[in-house]
């Protein structure tokens, strides 16, 4: 089934301008500081998929491309929160744990010629066995691991924090280069406290060092209620972050700038530390300490605003599904995102793929799915005896993009039935319908003899960035496959079957 929908494709962000301006501005800040600089890089240094979704034209690896301009002068320090290690927190967009993500990033950085020697584990407690095991693993791999501990009174009790009982209890990572990029696998890693602890210990060792922050979001020179800034708040709804007007910047310069609550809360500590150690602070506000040029590189505001609105809706659906999977009455994350949606005047119905999928499910009484392709066309997939709705939708999309008539069977029933037999009779599956991965494998095998299959396979790359909605929660296999294809998936927070235990 094919539908047309209102659609506004386009690029909203100038990636090349960003790489140029951002590297220049960081170099200028280093010259102004005049000594060792710890540059906290918030968000994701590599594979920044959130930024690429809300700023069309921002490639996921823009930040690392920018740092290549400074590669020979910097080293990268990886920071992880011991709680994330202990409870095996997962990076949702990649489906891997934070510790695996840290290993992946270190390998990528080193492969690209960056120096990575130091790993810092923050918030470490004696009973965190997983965190200590990770620390041992890193040391066996030749990395230098530093342990940081909870600091009583952080971030308000400045006298205690800036003392032997505060930062003084932490280890000191002895870095060797003048620019230290401090990053982590996700939010809440403890990057800022790590930078401040390092500055404290550097001072004790006669090393003068400073701090700057590169946080992509919120964008300080966009309005507080701009959808791009609101999308950041939706993305961190589980962390209780809030975008706010920087009160220190307003008081010092009579200018409004957007910051967020954690930066504003910790700024007095940073200022007090620099004044205590060096007699003065170069910063009068959290905005001052930032080096973010992203807002200056938006080339089409309306494109970015619309992309951000769609991201907020996707975040709401994701939160609803997670709450359903956890079988909890705590809907605080989805409720918070719903407040954001009401604040900027959007609803779940503004996601174009939702209504077509819902309407098909209502007509058939079975799960259904819909995809919006890059030209705005919406295609659907229904559940049948042979295929799940996601697999059917995927085949329909490939046929459309390859110019194959919709009546053509890319896979014959005779090709599908042996796979179903294998699943049910030999592999113990309870679902005879083919998943997306099984369909693609069968299609690849068919490509040896079928020109249609070859044409369809060639179009897989064009699915990246396409929006998908399903009327039931996806199984792990389909969810993983859509992630690998780079498709942006949401689902209604309901299971197909009423069961106590759900599996693919």
**Residue 502: predicted pLDDT:** 44
**Any alpha helices (H) in 255-300, and if so which ranges?**
261-278
- For 198-230, what is each residue's pLDDT tens digit? 999 999 999 999 999 988 899 999 999 999 999
**Residue 68: predicted pLDDT:** 86
Tell me which residue of 433, 341, 445 sits closest to 386, measured CA to CA.
433
| C-alpha span between 216 and 298 (Å, rounded) | 13
| C-alpha span between 379 and 57 (Å, rounded) | 25
Tell me which residue of 437, 457, 447, 450 sits closest to 388, measured CA to CA.
437
| CB proximity list for 260: less than 8 A, separation 6 or greater | 218, 232, 233, 241, 242, 243, 244
**Residue 254: left (phi > 0), alpha (psi -120 to 50), or beta?**
left
Q: HEC states along 293-329?
A: CHHHHECCHHHHHHHHHHHHHHHHHHHHHHHHHCCCC
**Residue 504: predicted pLDDT:** 45
Terminal C-alpha separation, the chain: 26
| C-alpha span between 26 and 212 (Å, rounded) | 9
Tell me which residue of 194, 229, 207 sits closest to 41, measured CA to CA.
194
Domains, the chain, in order of start with CATH, read 34-216 (3.10.630.10), 352-504 (3.40.140.40)
Tell me which residue of 493, 396, 394, 407 sits closest to 439, measured CA to CA.
394
Please identify every stretch of the chain with a pLDDT value under 50, giving residue numbers as ranges.
Answer: 500-502, 504
Give yes or no for a contact between 59 and 233, defined as CB atoms under 8 angstroms apart.
no
Counting runs of H as helices and runs of E as strands, what totals does the chain give?
A: 19, 15
**Residue 83: left (phi > 0), alpha (psi -120 to 50), or beta?**
alpha
Q: Give, in degrees to the nearest 5, the angle at Cα 315 between 313 and 321.
A: 105
- Beta strand spans in 314-446 (E): 368-372, 378-382
- With residues binned 3-state (H G I as helix, E B as strand, rest as coil), the percentages for the chain, rounded to 5, are 50, 15, 40
């Amino acid at each position: 089934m094919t539908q047309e929908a209102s659609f506004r494709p386009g690029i909203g962000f100038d990636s090349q301008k960003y790489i140029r301006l951002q590297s220049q501005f960081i170099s200028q800040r280093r010259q102004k500081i005049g000594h060792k600089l710890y540059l906290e890089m918030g968000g994701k240094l590599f594979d920044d998929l959130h930024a690429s979704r809300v700023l069309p034209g921002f490639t996921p690896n823009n930040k690392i491309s920018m740092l290549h301009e400074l590669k020979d002068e910097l080293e990268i320090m990886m920071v992880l929160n011991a709680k994330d290690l202990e409870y095996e927190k997962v990076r949702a967009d990649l489906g891997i744990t934070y510790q695996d993500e840290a290993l992946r990033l270190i390998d990528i950085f080193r492969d690209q010629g960056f120096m990575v020697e130091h790993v810092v584990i923050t918030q470490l407690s004696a009973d965190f066995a997983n965190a200590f095991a990770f620390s041992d693993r890193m040391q066996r791999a030749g990395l230098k691991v530093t342990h940081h501990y909870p600091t009583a009174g952080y971030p308000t009790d400045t006298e205690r924090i800036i003392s032997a009982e505060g930062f003084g209890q932490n280890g000191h990572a002895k870095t060797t280069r003048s620019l230290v990029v401090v990053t982590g696998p996700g939010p809440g890693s403890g990057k800022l406290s790590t930078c401040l602890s390092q500055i404290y210990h550097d001072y004790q060792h006669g090393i003068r060092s400073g701090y700057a922050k590169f946080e992509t979001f919120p964008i300080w020179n966009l309005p507080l209620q701009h959808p791009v800034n609101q999308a950041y708040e939706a993305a961190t709804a589980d962390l209780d972050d809030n975008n706010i007007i920087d009160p220190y910047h307003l008081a010092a310069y009579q200018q409004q700038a957007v910051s967020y609550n954690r930066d504003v809360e910790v700024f007095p500590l940073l200022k007090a530390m620099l004044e205590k150690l060096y007699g003065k602070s170069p910063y009068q506000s959290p905005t001052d300490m930032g080096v973010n040029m992203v807002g200056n590189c938006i080339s089409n505001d309306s494109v970015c605003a619309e992309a951000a609105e769609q991201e907020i809706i996707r975040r709401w659906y994701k939160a609803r599904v997670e709450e359903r999977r956890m079988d909890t009455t705590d809907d605080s994350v989805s409720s918070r995102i719903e407040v954001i949606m009401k604040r900027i005047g959007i609803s779940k119905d503004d996601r174009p793929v939702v209504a077509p999928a819902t309407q098909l499910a209502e007509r058939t009484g079975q799960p259904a799915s819909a995809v919006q392709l890059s030209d705005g066309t919406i295609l659907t997939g229904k559940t049948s005896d042979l295929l799940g709705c996601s697999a059917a939708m995927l085949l329909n999309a490939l046929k459309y993009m390859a110019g194959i008539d919709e009546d053509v069977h890319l896979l014959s029933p005779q090709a599908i039935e042996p796979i179903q037999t294998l699943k049910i009779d030999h592999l113990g599956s309870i679902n005879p319908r083919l998943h997306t991965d099984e369909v693609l494998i069968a299609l690849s095998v068919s490509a040896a003899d079928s020109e249609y299959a070859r044409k369809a396979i060639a179009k897989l790359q064009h699915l990246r960035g396409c929006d998908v909605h399903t009327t039931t929660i996806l199984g792990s296999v389909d969810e993983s496959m859509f992630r690998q294809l780079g498709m942006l998936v949401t689902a209604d927070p309901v299971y197909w079957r009423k069961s106590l235990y759900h599996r693919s």
